[in-house]
Structure 1
């Protein structure tokens, strides 16, 4: 018995050694069979052994490079192989604001020290000490700061006096809605209806619609699904039908220069912004100027982003975009980066001043809208936002995976002055005014597409599972013949063969015991 026990380790060693030699001499991996071939010279075995180790290290290094690229660059943005017609996307939402913040004839009589004068200074972005008003609260809705701006500013039917869309003349109140944005009361064309845009009603603060209303039917445009399949005869947000000025939007603006009181910039005129119909407009920092006495043409350049469905499995921080149904906003029904950042700003005001300015989303139903008593705090909060205090929240506002942005072509904005006497214009509206009045107060603006099609940017996985296995498998196969068959061989020699040999040994031992009995 002692001899048998002492010989057991030797038996196992010889078994493992023999099996390893058999595996290495018969494996599908290139080069290993030469290492264990005793018929070859020692230097030949050493040569192939070193070659195999070097190739193995190179292959592992290359495979790690592929893995690191897979981890660091999970998504790549490419150009769509198909063209998208402009009829498949909305005509851009266009917001136009007058640089004049107050009508002189309505505010010139305000006396310093009064509540109206204090609100006027805030409207005109003037430095003012609001300490004496820190306990003042609006008694009625008419006393709010938003209502004050409505009373002292030009209405849309006064600012936009002529509208032609797709070769048809419309009452401007049928095309434009009056909204309060960061530049005050502005006129917005082709924005999504508030019912589809906001989660809860805030029309007394967010949406000042002209009394005539909009004649077309409001529909819900979705950034992924697009337009509904069944569309009424007249609807908005409208979509483009063709290229050129004749198929675009032409508006005539009246600046009412003689009634200017204060300007949001260093000059007279208007500001304009083109953006997605479901976005939050920001005119103060992003608006483009429109000069009075000129005709300005803006060629629309759509920039669309799409995403393939298989990138949903990639973490949003790694793919750097968010699908619209992945993140809920507090006020907006649709997620976009601009809407998310607007809610971050609103939250910053709530935390610092316990109120929300009229132009930001009411992220809480019972939130207080900032009034004169909050103006000192509001100015501090505005300074902190400009300095980047709310960037922690905004860092989580990733771009939308499906998004549309509109840009005016910066190389095609010619201005045609009206300051030459004898110049005739085609718009019938100008026949009612003298050349001097046109040159001083009026402006023509054209918005139009210059191409019927455009290509979208598509987010797709840079290296998916299939591509990753192909790249890694190609490297391993090229270097030393690694394949799935090798894994099967390894599994056979380590597990299956050991199990079979043990079962055979166990069965033979049982038979020996039975025969002994």
Structure 2
């Protein structure tokens, strides 16, 4: 019975003109009629109800997969591949097409490897923002005022101090080198308290310096002579001694662990929470709260900036402490950055100093969070926490390492560096300062090594000392203009006193324009672009497309599985 059916089917197929001798011999699996015939033959091959062995199923599946692979290459959409299997071509023609296909695959693979290498080496690009940013979206800069008067003559004559107080004065007086005034033994706890008291009493207070101010955040252009220091300025330690900062964050942007030390020079220091952040910005509410920290302005211009009238009592000046310089040192910084820097502006006396500020923002797409920090070359705020600073920035990171390494290697820190306790050891001896110099050199060297280790030519594993920039940050560029302050006869005296010539100066800090263009860091190749680029190369060189994927899945997976299941069902279940 089976033999007759086989003969009848074979006989019907042999009369179809579609098949030629060479085609039936080599490619009978391609003909739809032959495939249907083979299916009918396979359905009746074996006995009904016969138990199907696992090895038989695997062999059937492998046979169907191989047949599907051959049919995919011959009848699929890939360019040139079918000519390799064309039975009418000679061996030379097939060899020619094999060479063409291999060369095409090689060029395609080389371009894909080059594209992937570029994607891994430079996964992001920095571009200028397409839309301008209003100035009310960024904080007003922190303005730090440091007088060139570190020890008042009325408090102490630096030429007539004892050994210990002379060392105290040498720490804050630029003309006195502290390395020549070091102590033989490190300061104890009570002496550290005496040092702090000496600095607070010897340095002019905020009210001694700031006589009037104007902050028109509430559209009030009146100059006030009271509460300037209470409302707007707070004491802060810098490399220039004790200074006073406008628009500084709670605890000067440091962590709550430094509260004890902060209260040793600012009794009003208290931790506070912020609604603003580098990664999130200000809350999107209207109208904006003018008292929200850090402070900001709505419009640019001199009338809407910070105006301060400063006084410096020249009778308190000591050449042995401050040299010939009279005036103020001004630091324009982001509220999140520390103030231990030598990048400053000089504010002379009897001048009106105008500082025009232009913010520059750096933003990073959240899509880059999936990359490691050493790949995107920046840190988001939640990715790296500092021990002494609340906000992560590159400068904060470096100074945080300075402080930690000095405590670790020298067992002391400089008097003006942040401490977790006011009684922590302060460097006092020659050996201490030599150790600090060694630590500074070591940390700077680590930063250089970390930079070269992670550069494009040789990226390595992240160095602990590596301080990449913050992914979202704001910095300030400034231009300074000076004009003379001239007092004409008959001009009224200030309500707060009668300053002499050379004792008065004014400063105005404001934004230059209402809008600015920041910089944006985004992925050079997102997932869609990368997939499109690879797909374009495959299509250009091989004609590979989504249809090719569908064909491959159909011939390699779906059809073999379907036929094996169908054959198993026919053998075992049908009766």
Equivalent residue, structure 2, for 1:4: none
Q: How many residues align?
A: 488
Greater Cα offset, 58-67 or 217-226: 217-226
Partners of 1:423 and 1:390 lie apart in 2 by 61
Give the structure with higher Rg (CA).
2
**Structure 1 residues 112 and 325 mapped into 2: Cα distance closer, same or farther (>3 Å)?**
same
Equivalent residue, structure 1, for 2:533: 471
Contact 1:180 1:358 in 2 (8 A): no
Partners of 2:387 and 2:295 lie apart in 1 by 27
Equivalent residue, structure 2, for 1:169: 223
Partners of 1:96 and 1:366 lie apart in 2 by 24
Deviations 1:233-252 (A, max 9, x none): 64543211322111111222
Deviations 1:136-168 (A, max 9, x none): 42426641x333222221222222223122223
- Structure 2 residue aligned with 1:146, among 188, 196, 212? 196
* TM score, norm. by length of structure 2: 0.74
Equivalent residue, structure 2, for 1:137: 188
Partners of 2:548 and 2:322 lie apart in 1 by 74
Equivalent residue, structure 2, for 1:3: none
* TM score, norm. by length of structure 1: 0.82
Higher strand share: 1
Greater Cα offset, 232-241 or 285-294: 232-241
Deviations 1:309-354 (A, max 9, x none): 2211111111111111222222333322232222111102101221
Partners of 1:494 and 1:233 lie apart in 2 by 67
Deviations 1:246-295 (A, max 9, x none): 11112223343343235678733221111222221124x22222222322
2:471 counterpart SS class: coil
**Structure 1 residues 417 and 70 mapped into 2: Cα distance closer, same or farther (>3 Å)?**
same
- Structure 1 residue aligned with 2:122, among 63, 68, 73? 73
CA RMSD of aligned residues (A): 3.7
Is 1:30 the counterpart of 2:85? The answer is no
- 1:215-230 matches, cutoff 5 A: 220-228=275-283, 229=285
**Structure 1 residues 495 and 138 mapped into 2: Cα distance closer, same or farther (>3 Å)?**
closer
Partners of 1:366 and 1:50 lie apart in 2 by 78
Shift of residue 466, structure 1, vs aligned partner? 1.7
Shift of residue 91, structure 1, vs aligned partner? 1.1
Contact 1:155 1:185 in 2 (8 A): no
Partners of 1:274 and 1:289 lie apart in 2 by 11
Q: Which runs of 4+ in 1 moved over 6 A?
A: 11-18, 423-427, 504-511
Partners of 2:490 and 2:432 lie apart in 1 by 52
Is 1:305 the counterpart of 2:362? The answer is yes
1:305 counterpart SS class: strand
- Structure 1 residue aligned with 2:406, among 342, 349, 355? 349
- Name structure 2 gaps, 5 residues minimum: 1-59, 451-462
Shift of residue 94, structure 1, vs aligned partner? 0.8
Partners of 2:552 and 2:374 lie apart in 1 by 39
Contact 1:275 1:405 in 2 (8 A): yes
**Structure 1 residues 358 and 59 mapped into 2: Cα distance closer, same or farther (>3 Å)?**
same
**Structure 1 residues 318 and 481 mapped into 2: Cα distance closer, same or farther (>3 Å)?**
same
Partners of 1:165 and 1:12 lie apart in 2 by 82
- 1:397-476 matches, cutoff 5 A: 397-409=467-479, 413-418=480-485, 432-434=498-500, 437=501, 440-476=502-538
Contact 1:192 1:220 in 2 (8 A): no
Equivalent residue, structure 1, for 2:152: 103
Equivalent residue, structure 2, for 1:323: 380
